[in-house]
Structure formats: C-alpha cells, structure tokens
C-alpha cells in the first residue's frame, strides 16, 4: 500500500543553522503537504504543494514537490528555538477523496 518515509527521524541542531528533511514514497502523489506539530498540540499545515517541480516558500520555510512525484523536501533556514517540534509530510490516498496518509515525522530540536 501507499507509504511515506521521512528522514531523518530526528535532528539536533544549533540555532541559526539551516535544516533539510525529506519524504519519499514508492507511489506517486499529486499533492504534498507539510505539517508541524508543537508539543501538546495538533499538527498545523505549513505548506501545500500541488504540482511536480513546484517550489513554495512560507517565510523561512521552503518546500519542493519532486519531479518524479515520489518525493518532497522541506528546508528551514536560520533555525530559531520555536522551530522545535515534529514535522510531518502527508499526501492523499489515491482515489480516496480527502483521506491523507502521514509520514512518521521528523523531530527537530534546536539548541539556543
């Protein structure tokens, strides 16, 4: 079945460093979504990608929809302590309406 694999599983970085994480699948996705979950809260949508090759930014965050449609990347520039949390990629199950599948998440820790 469809699966999303995220890497790395966790990252420990220094404040000010850039961060890169990715999400891959053996299946093609027509939409890629990136969410962030703060401790004790639900995931919040950061960026949505709808077209292969698309590069979209949201402040210090930049995400790309891979050309093969089987991967996506999220970059965070000049990290700050409030970037701490779990980042999830997600995509719609093929032919199943609004149902989303989520990756396992990348847990980011930022040292001041």
Partner 1 sequence: DAGVIQSPRHEVTEMGQEVTLRCKPISGHDYLFWYRQTMMRGLELLIYFNNNVPIDDSGMPEDRFSAKMPNASFSTLKIQPSEPRDSAVYFCASSLGQTGYTFGSGTRLTVV
Residues of this chain that interact with partner 1 (CB under 8 A) are 31, 33, 35, 40-45, 48, 88, 92, 96-105
User: Least distance in Å: CB of 32 to partner 1?
Assistant: 10
Say if CB 69 and CB 52 are below 8 A apart. Answer: yes
Whether the bond into 39 is cis, omega within 30 of 0: no
Strands 19-24 and 5-7, by their bridges, are antiparallel
Q: Which is nearer to partner 1, 97 or 112 (CB)?
A: 97
* H/E stretch holding 100: strand 100-102
Q: Which is nearer to partner 1, 23 or 79 (by Cβ)?
A: 23
When the beta carbons of 4 and 19 are compared against partner 1, the nearer one is: 4
């Amino acid at each position: 079945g469809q699966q999303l694999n995220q890497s790395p599983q966790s990252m420990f970085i220094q404040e000010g460093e850039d961060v890169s994480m990715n999400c891959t699948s053996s299946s093609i996705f027509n939409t890629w979504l990136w969410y962030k979950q703060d401790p004790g809260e639900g995931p919040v949508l950061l960026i949505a990608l709808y077209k292969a090759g698309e590069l979209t930014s949201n402040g210090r965050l930049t995400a790309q929809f891979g050309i093969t449609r089987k991967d996506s990347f999220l970059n965070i520039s000049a990290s700050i302590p409030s970037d701490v949390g779990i980042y999830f990629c997600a995509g719609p199950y093929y032919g199943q309406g609004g149902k989303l599948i989520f990756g396992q998440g990348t847990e980011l820790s930022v040292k001041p």
